[in-house]
Structure 1
Amino acid sequence: MNSSTMMLMMIMLITNIIMMTIAITSKKMTMDRDKPTPIECGFEPKSSSRMPFSLKFFMIAMIFLIFDVEIALIMPMMPTMMMSKTTQWTSTSLTFLCILLLGLYHEWVEGTLSWTS
């Protein structure tokens, strides 16, 4: 092995030792009363498992997941525009956006987006 390889290995070893030391010493060592208890959507974990569940909470969570996935599908639309035919890209994008808008309209008419009712 040459000297540059040995130097690189020494730097990597020293960096690993420093990072492990920082990770060990930076942990919070005090134990709170609430720290070991599980968190289950704001419900008391020791109470009855047959507690009524809020349907609004479930619907808002589902809407969030749906729109989160939609954003992940919309993001790559612009880079793919350069790699495909303009008419094909436009028709695919408009079809996808129309489906999203129809879904949003359905949720609006159904009253899922209403917080007060």
Structure 2
Amino acid sequence: MLANYAPVLIFLLVAAAFGAALLALGMALGSGSKDPQKLSPYECGFEAFEDSRIRFDVRYYLVAILFIIFDLEIAFLFPWAVSLDRIGVFGLVSMAVFLAVLVVGFIYEWRKGALEWD
């Protein structure tokens, strides 16, 4: 049974060794002198004028949820449409349930006013 996982273990060991080798190579060949200008925070070419831990407006998160809703819908609709003839009625019902959940999320966004750009 352990022999079945040997390729995965070998892959993980090679990946870890490769990552460690690249980190060591970067430390060995990289310049160690870091001036204050290089270590300063960078935000659009000028110093930050507010605290970075400010609270965001709820509409920002609502727009993010809206993006996820539409992104998931498109990501799952294409493979479903291609294989609809093979998955039959079960696939049709499954996608109907999935789209119903997305519509509930969309209605939630609409009610919260995420689509209003005041």
Q: Normalising to structure 2: TM-score of the pair?
A: 0.50
* 2:87 paired with 1:100: no
Gap runs ≥5 in structure 1: 1-35
AA in 2 matched with 1:38: Y
* 2:82 paired with 1:83: no
Structure 1 stretch displaced more, 57-66 or 104-113: 57-66
Shift of 1:97: 1.5
AA in 2 matched with 1:97: L
For residues 68 and 39 of structure 1, the distance between their equivalents in structure 2, rounded to whole angstroms, comes to: 28
How does 1:1-117 map onto structure 2 within 5 Å?
38-39=42-43, 45=48, 47-84=50-87, 86-116=88-118
**Larger of the two Rg values belongs to structure:** 1
Gap runs ≥5 in structure 2: 1-39
- Contact 2:62–2:114 (CA<8 Å) still a contact in 1? yes
- Identity value in percent: 29
Change (3 A) 1:61 1:39: farther
Residues matched between the structures, number: 78
Tell which has more relative contact order, 1 or 2 (C-alpha 8 A, sep 6+): 2
Moved over 6 A (4+): none
